[in-house]
Amino acid sequence: MMVMVTLVTVFLHNLALAVIIGVIISALVFAWDNAKRIRARKHIDENGVKYYEIFGPLFFGSVSTFNDKFDVLNDPDEVVIDFRESRVADMSAIEALNRITERYQKAGKRLHLKHLSSDCRVLLKNAEDIIDVNVIEDPTYKVMTNRIKKAGK
């Protein structure tokens, strides 16, 4: 990166342009690296439901890798995609969820999404015109506190 910024500065005599180009290339390299990090752990529970536990962010750079993780034809009738260790980051990810949902529906299977973060739910809500998914409602956990009153107060 440093060599590229130096070359742009030397040949174009413009340090500001070289820095902007360096930032853009760094952002693209970062996105590419994160796209390769999306993984899925798979298991089937005692009821015959298949779980895909997704690890890593789902965004425009990781959509094709995400789509390759699923075996729609050989999966059981009920499938859960668990996003506990992942997050849906942009509209490309929403479209990927829409496509995978359509694939399972065409195969006559039910797909559920689980453990979506609140910002993911907002994205899904904003895109409800283009996506129809069955989100399993996750429980909201509350912390119970025990307040002890001191004598005389």
Rounded CA separation 25/121 (Å): 31
Adjacent-strand bridge partners of 40: 54
Same domain, 51 and 126: yes
Evaluate the CA torsion angle 80, 95, 32, 89 in order and state its sign. Answer: negative
Rounded CA separation 80/83 (Å): 10
Per-residue pLDDT of 77-95, as tens digits, reads: 999 998 888 888 788 888 8
CATH code, domain carrying 61: 3.30.750.24
The reported pLDDT for the residue numbered 11 is 84
Number of domains making up the chain: 2
Same domain, 128 and 67: yes
**pTM beyond cutoff 0.85:** no
Rounded CA separation 74/98 (Å): 20
Same domain, 31 and 44: no
Name which of 69, 60, 68 is nearest 94 in CA terms: 60
- Label residue 117 by pLDDT band (50, 70, 90): confident
Give yes or no for a contact between 63 and 34, defined as CB atoms under 8 angstroms apart.
no
Same domain, 11 and 43: no
- Label residue 137 by pLDDT band (50, 70, 90): low
